Structure 1
Amino acid sequence: MSALARWFRGSGYHVAGYDRTRTALTEQLEAEGMLIHYEDDVKLIPLDFIDDALIVYTPAIPADHKELNYFKAQGRKLWKRSEILGKITEEVFTVAVAGTHGKTTTSSMVAHILKYAGKNVFAFVGGITQNYKSNLLIGDKDAGEQIMVVEADEYDRSFLRLSPAIAIITAMDPDHLDIYKDEEDFVDTFNQFAGQVKSNGVVFAQGNCPVRKLDNSRSLHFYGEAASDFSPFNKRIEKGYYVYDLKTPAGTITNIVLGIPGDHNIQNSIAAFAVGLQLGIPAETIKNALKEFKGVKRRFDYIFRSEKITYIDDYAHHPTEIKAFLCAVKEVYKDKKVTAIFQPHLYSRTRDFMDGFAESLSIPDALILLEIYPARELPIPGITSSVLLDKVNLTEKKVVAKSDLMKTLESTDTDILVTIGAGDIDQFIEPIKKFLEKEASR
C-alpha cells in the first residue's frame, strides 16, 4: 500500500490515509507530504477527501472498519490495491512475482537487475530495498519502453487481476486457508494465475511447484531443482558469500556470487537471473548486479553486530519461510548459540500449520515465543502460543508477554539473536538494537 501511495504522490496527487500503527515507514510517508492518521474515526478523514477521492484499500482492513464502511454507505466506488495495480500495469510490459514466500526478495532482485542494466524500470515491491531505501522504483515515463515489476499477492486472490508478460512463481505451499477452501483450491488458483500470462509470455516456476502445462502460446520453465531448466550446482560458501554455478538452456554460467545469505536466496536469484536472460541482459551484467544486491529490509536484515553478539531480523511468518531463514542462520553461524524470538501471525495460520511451526521453531537453540498477533482476526479457542510451545522440541523455551520482552533479554545469554514475524514485532527492533549497543559499550 505504501508503494502505491508513493506512486500517486510522485505523480502529483494528494494522498491521505489510515494505518493501525505509527511506524518509521508511515513517518517517512508523512515527511513525503501524505496525511496519515492512526485512529479509526470518520472525523479524521481530511475534508478534501470526503467527496472527491480515489478510495483504495487493502483486504487486511477488518470488515467493521468505520472509515471503510462510511465510504461504502455513501455508495462510493472502492478499489482494492490489486485492482489499481492491474489498471496501472494494463498497458505496460509487466513482470509479476507470485509465491507463498520469496516474492518480495525475488521482485526486488528482478527490479535491481533491470535498473543495473539501464532498463526503464518501475517497481512495486512488498519491502524496503536496501539498495534504494524504498519499496518503489520510478523510471522515466517519457524514456521509451517501460518495464513494470510487481509483487503479485495471492491473499484474497488479488493476483488474478494481473495479466503479466512474464510471471515468476516462487512457491506454492498452502497458506491463507481462511480465504481458500482447501489446498486444491489454492493450487488451482495459482495455476489460473499462470494461465493469465499474456500470449507469447513466459512463466518461470520453482521446480517443486505443481504448475500445470500451459497452452502453446505461453512458455513454462522450471528452476532451482536438479532436473529443472535452470539448475544450480557446485553451491558453496566462499569468504562469507554464497556462490554457485547455473545450468541454463543456453549453457552454463559459473561463479554467481550472492550478496545475501541463504539457500532460499539462491533459489530467488535463479528466478531473477532467468528473467534477466529472457529480457536480453548479458549474464555478466546480471552476475554483477546480484553481487551488489544488498537485500530487503526485514529479510535476513543485520541490525547489530559486535564481537559478542549478532542480531538479525526477518519477516518470515510461514513454517517454510521460518525453516529456510533459521537453517541459513545455523549454516552461517555453525558453532554459535542461536536464540529466536518469534511472534505468530494470525490465529488461523497458527491453527492450520501448528505442527509445521513447531518443527521450524525447533531449529534454534532457544526460543522466546510472543503471543499471537491477531491482525484482522478474533481469537480461536484452543489456539495459543502456549499450545504451540508445548509442541516445540527444545529444552530452552518460553512464552513471554510483549511487555516483558526487554526485561527477558536482560537475562538472555546468546551469540546470535533473531526476531521473526509479520505482526508488530518490528516495533522491538530499535529497542533491542539500543539495548545491545548499551551492553556492548560496557
Structure 2
Amino acid sequence: MELNEFRNIYFIGIGGIGMSALARYFSVNGKNVSGYDKTASPITDGLEEIGITIHFEDDIENVADNFKDALSTVVVYTPAVPSKHKELNYFFNNGFTVLKRSEMLGVITKNTRCMAVAGTHGKTTTSTILGHIMKECGTNATSFLGGISENYNSNLILGGSEISVVEADEYDRSFLMLSPDIACVTSMDEDHLDIYSQKNALEESFIEFANKVSDKLIVRKGLPLEGLTYAIEEKADYYADNLKIKEGSYIFDVMTPTEIIRNVEFNLPGKHNVLNAVAALAMANYHGVSLRAIAKALLSFKGIKRRFTYKIQTDNLVLIDDYAHHPTELNAVENAVREMYPLERVMAIFQPHLFSRTKDFADDFGQSLSKFDEVLLLDIYPAREKPIEGITSSWLLDKINCPKKKLSTKEELIQHIKESDAKVKMLLGAGDIGQLVEGITKDLLGEN
C-alpha cells in the first residue's frame, strides 16, 4: 500500500495515545485528518487545536463527505473499538482500505531505519528517552510515543523520514506488524492474558518479534532472547554501575562493549528508570551516536506525563501521578518512592484497570499494594471489557494487608485523601484516574 495514494486519513478511536500520535503525524504532513472517539479528552482537545475535526457520537452521518470516498480515504482503527461499531462496519462494508493502528505504523516504518522498543513494562519510558536522545543529537528521527513527553508536550517528536522510533506494543500482537532494524526488549512478564491465554504464548510472540529484527536486538539481561544485553549493577554488554543519588538525581557510570563513560546524570527517580535509560543509550550508541552526546541528552530529559510525575512537592505534601497498572509497575514505583522518601508514610490511590487483569494478578496486586502504608481503592476501570462476576475492588481489597485501607468512590476521593496524614500520596492507574489528577491537585493546593 502506498500512502501517497490517499488524501484523507480517518481515525476511529483517535483519542488513544498511539492513535493520536499518528493523527498528528499525518496532519503535519499535509493529509486531511478527521476522526471519532467515545469521549472528549485533553488529547482530543489538542488535536482539534491543530485543525483536526473530531466527533463523539458513533454515526456515519457525522463523517464529512470527502472521507466517504473509498478511493481517497484510508481508515485506521484501534482494536479497543467494539466489533459492532457502526462507522467501522460502514467502512469495512463499502470497499475502504481499513487498517489497524499497528498496520499503519508498520506501513510508515517499513521504509525507515526502524528503532523499536518492546516489553510488557518500560517501553514507553525507554522509547521516549530514545526519541529525546535522537532529537537532541541531531539524527532527524521521527518518534511515535505511547506517552506525552514533558520535553515536547507531545506523543510525537517530529523529524525526518529516514529513521523512526516506535513503541512496539505486544497487545493484540501488534508489534509483529513492524519491520524493526534495531530493537530492544525490556521485559516479558505475564500480561494481556485476555489475548495470550498462557505465559509461553506471550514468550513465543516476543521470540517471533525478535526474529523480525534485521540488524541488532538489545535485551535486558536475563530474558530468554539472544542479543546484546543491558543491565544495572551487574555485568552485561551495556551496564550502569557505581550508582549514587545526589539531590534527587542519579549519577552513574556506563560500561559499553568498547568504552566507558563516567558520571552520567539522570533526573528520573527509580532504578527501573536508570535501566530504561541504559536501554535507550545502548540503542542510540549502537546506531552510532556518541556516548558523550547521549549523556548530554539524558541530563536534559524531563520525563513523561503520568510516569512518576510530581504534581505537588512541598515540605508538607508530595503528590505523585503514575500510570502503573500491573503489579510489576506498582513494585517499581513503590521502590522508587521509598528511595526518594525513606522516612515518610506513603498512600497509594489505585484504580485497577481491566477485570481480566485484576482477576489474573489478584494475589500479586494484593502483595504489591500491601507495601504501601495506606491504600485507597477505586472501582475497576473496565476499558474494553464487560464485568466478570465476583471480580470487584471489594474482593481485591480483602487481599491487601496494610494498616489502613478502604474503598472510595470518585466523589469521595478528595475527602479521603485529605483525611490521610501520609506526606506522600500517589495517584496510580491506567484508567480515567488520569482525568482526576488536575482537580485533585487544585483541591489539595486550595485552588478549587
> Do they superpose with TM above 0.5?
yes
**2:3 corresponding residue in structure 1:** none
Q: Tell me which of 395, 399, 416 is aligned to 1:391.
A: 399
Which of residues 338, 341, 359 is equivalent to 1:351? Answer: 359
Shift of 1:33: 0.6
Q: Which residue of 2 aligns with 1:204?
A: 218
Q: Match for 2:166: what amino acid?
A: V
For 1:63 and 1:370, how far apart are their aligned partners in 2?
A: 28
Partners of 2:60 and 2:90 within 8 A in 1 = yes
Aligned residue number for residue 24 of structure 1: 42
Residue in 1 aligned with 2:177? 161
For 1:139, the equivalent position in structure 2 comes to 159
Q: Deviations over 1:237-270 (max 9, x none)?
A: 1121112222221133221111211100011011
Question: Shift in Å at residue 112 of structure 1?
Answer: 0.9
**TM superposition shift of 1:277:** 1.4
CA deviations on 1:258-291 (whole Å, 9 max, x unpaired) are: 1211100011011111112112222111111111
Shift of 1:66: 2.5
> Is structure 2 residue 109 aligned with structure 1 residue 89?
yes
Q: Residue 273 of structure 2 corresponds to which residue in structure 1?
A: 265
The amino acid that maps onto 2:58 is D
**Unaligned regions of 5+ residues in structure 1, if any?**
214-219
Q: Larger deviation: 224-233 or 93-102?
A: 224-233
Shift of 1:137: 1.3
* SS at structure 2 position matched to 1:340: strand
Is the CA contact 1:327–1:363 (under 8 Å) kept in the aligned structure 2? Answer: no
8 Å Cα contact 1:96-1:152 kept in structure 2: yes
AA partner of residue 336 (structure 2)? A
Asked if the contact 2:120/2:187 (under 8 Å) is kept, the reply is yes
Q: Following superposition of structure 1 onto structure 2, how do residues 398-417 of structure 1 map, counting pairs within 5 Å?
A: 398-417=406-425
Cα deviation digits, residues 376-417 of structure 1 (max 9, x gap): 100011111111111111120111112321232332332111
Q: Give ranges in structure 2 of 5+ residues lacking alignment.
A: 1-18
SS in 2 for 1:234: strand
Distance 1:423 1:21 in 2: 13
Q: Determine the C-alpha separation between the residues in 2 that align with 1:38 and 1:340.
A: 33
Q: Conserved in 2, the CA contact under 8 Å of 1:172 and 1:210?
A: no
Tell me what 1:150 maps to: 166
Q: Give a deviation string over 1:70-129, Cα, whole Å, max 9, x none.
A: 322334331011111111111111100000011111011111111111111101001110
Whether 1:430 and 2:444 are equivalent positions in the alignment is no
2:87 partner letter: E
The secondary structure found in structure 2 opposite 1:391 is coil
Code of the aligned partner of 2:367: E
Say which is worse superposed, 240-249 or 98-107, in terms of deviation. 240-249
In structure 2, the partner of 1:217 is none
User: Which residue in the other structure is 2:200 paired with?
Assistant: 184
| Whole-Å separation in 2 of the counterparts to 1:409 and 1:268 | 31
**Paired residue secondary structure (1:438):** coil
SS at match of 1:376: coil
Q: Which residue in the other structure is 1:34 paired with?
A: 52
Between 224-233 and 57-66, the greater mean CA deviation after superposition:
224-233
Query: What SS does the corresponding residue of 1:5 show, helix, strand or coil?
Result: helix
| Structure 1 partner of 2:322 | 314
Q: Give deviations 1:210-258, integer Å, cap 9, x for gaps.
A: 21x3xxxxxx111115242112221121121112222221133221111
Q: Provide the residue aligned with 1:69 in structure 2.
A: 89
CA offset at residue 306 of structure 1? Answer: 2.4
Report the secondary structure of 1:82's partner residue. helix
What do you get for the CA RMSD once the two structures are aligned? 1.5
Match of 1:122? 142
Match of 1:111 in 2: 131
Residue 174, structure 1, aligned to residue 200, structure 2 = no
The 5 Å alignment of 1:241-260 reads: 241-260=249-268
**What residue number does 2:63 align with?**
45
Q: Give the letter aligned to residue 114 of structure 2.
A: T
8 Å CA contact 2:75, 2:98 repeated in 1:
yes
User: Does residue 99 of structure 2 align to residue 79 of structure 1?
Assistant: yes
The answer to whether the 8 Å contact 2:74/2:96 transfers is no
* Match of residue 222 from structure 1: 229
Please give the secondary structure, in 1, of the residue aligned with 2:306.
coil
After TM superposition, the score normalised by the length of structure 1 is: 0.93
Identical-pair percentage: 48
- TM-fit CA distance, 1:20: 2.1
Distance of 1:410 and 1:309 partners within structure 2: 11
Equivalent pair of 2:346/2:426 in contact (CA under 8 Å)? yes
Deviation at 1:62, TM superposition (A): 2.0
Q: How far is the alpha carbon of 1:373 from its aligned partner?
A: 0.5
Work out the CA distance in 2 between the residues paired with 1:22 and 1:335.
Answer: 41
Deviations 1:163-189 (A, max 9, x none): 111001011001111111310010011
- Whole-Å separation in 1 of the counterparts to 2:417 and 2:84: 37
Mapping for residues 343-382 of structure 1, pairs under 5 Å: 343-382=351-390
Match of 1:239 among 216, 235, 247: 247
TM-score by length of 2: 0.92
- Would you say 1:9 and 2:23 are equivalent positions? no
Aligned residue pairs: how many? 427
Partner amino acid for 1:362?
S
Amino acid at match of 1:42: I
Q: Contact 1:19–1:38 at 8 Å: present in 2 too?
A: yes
Residues 98 and 169, structure 1, Cα contact 8 Å, conserved in 2:
yes
Paired letter, 2:229: F
